[in-house]
Amino acid sequence: MRDLGTSAWREPAFRRFWVGQSLSYVGDQVSAVALPLVAVVVLEATATQLGVLTGLAKLPVVVFGLLIGVWVDRVRRRRLMIMADLARAALLLTIPLAVAAGVASMPLLIVVAVLVASFAVIGQVAGSAFLRSVLPSGRLVDGNARLTQSAALARICGPGLAGVLVQAVTAPVAILVDVISYLASATALATARVEESSIPPPVGRHLGRELREGIAVILRDPLLRASAAAGATYNGCLSAILAVEVLYLSRDLGLPPVAIGLVLAAIGPGALLGSALAARIARRYGIGPTMIIGFAVAGAANLVLPLAFGPQPVMIGMIMVASFGSGLGQPLYNVNQSALRQAIVRPELQGRATATLSVLVGCAAPLGALLGGLIATATGTRTLLIMAALGTVLAGLWLVCSPVRRLIDLPALRQAQGS
């Protein structure tokens, strides 16, 4: 278990990979804010158009996720990540050029947003699969923790950076900074010299069989199957909470917009701390117990939200603690789950395993949000929040009732997966 804390910084290739991924994370967050601002400020988009723009940008992981996983397992992953960065840079560059030429339109913005989101999924799946080639098993937890820290920091700073850029130089010009971030990411990845595992020859490939192999990797392995079930359950219940959280804070508790923004922002520092502690806690208690602790912490924090009471300052404080705790618990699970998958899945199946997990967990989000809205309408927002929060607590039972609870060190590579 001592090896779980070995620093990933000792690998020069990881340092370059980390720089590239961190820049991509920042680019993704800036895009998420800058593109809607272009729609509002330049194109005077309606609420419906913004809904379409935002909604369609979330579809690629669900619609194309499994196919992307197959693609990632067929080609060199570093090249694929570089291509994804360059493609996002080129796509985003069309927006300021179109604005300057006077031909910008909502259809163009929507197409660019969907394609950028699609290449983001490609980059994320390829990056997760590529990490196994960059780091030995003993450094995977620390490597994932550092990447998760970068992602959390990007979520905290990215929207604010986008807002400052838009305010200072207008939305279209701000996107040029985003373009530069992706080009810098591609450059960093291009200099990360890593000996990737060999790619299986194209002879005998069949898309349907490759898709089934990726799904089988998750469903046949008791550790990965329990992780997928727990992640999907938690994500579905969390999406139900998020669907009505702002309504509950504003209408039921009467919090002003500034207070709502404050309590929602507290999740970011929590995620940053959780990702910093993930490797240390795993080194002390083990991989599986740390994953379970993550669910317990996040679930208990979610339960505080509907139980907040007292004067408004007290309620704000309680909900800030809840938001912070939710952010703290999630990386404890996510970091160790990612390291577990990377350690036991064969290199030629990494892309499909990553994509299958993303699709299974991702599909639970829209279902949870839809059911959350319906249940809240029928029973009230507080009742729904209590039910969904209990669901996030109980999600950890998938792990408790599986071999995950006894998992201390990262296990060895599975040799019979997907067969």
C-alpha 98: how far from chain center: 30
pLDDT reported for residue 303 = 94
pLDDT reported for residue 2 = 45
CB 270 within 8 A of CB 263: no
- What are the structural domains, with CATH classification, of the chain? 2-197 (1.20.1250.20), 211-406 (1.20.1250.20)
pLDDT digits 0-9 by tens, 322-350: 999 999 999 999 999 999 998 889 888 88
Residue 67, Cβ density class (10 Å: 0-12 exposed, 13-18 middle, ≥19 buried): middle
Residue 59, pLDDT above cutoff 90:
no
* Nearest partner of 14 among 342, 251, 235, judged by Cα: 342
First CA to last CA distance, the chain: 30
pLDDT digits 0-9 by tens, 267-312: 889 999 999 999 899 999 999 999 999 999 999 999 999 998 889 8
pLDDT digits 0-9 by tens, 201-248: 655 677 888 888 889 999 999 999 999 999 999 999 998 898 888 888
pLDDT digits 0-9 by tens, 179-190: 998 999 999 888
Distance CA 13, CA 7 (A): 13
At 2, the amino acid letter reads R
Q: What is the pTM of this model?
A: 0.80
pLDDT digits 0-9 by tens, 250-264: 888 888 877 887 888
pLDDT reported for residue 197 = 64
CB 328 within 8 A of CB 299: no
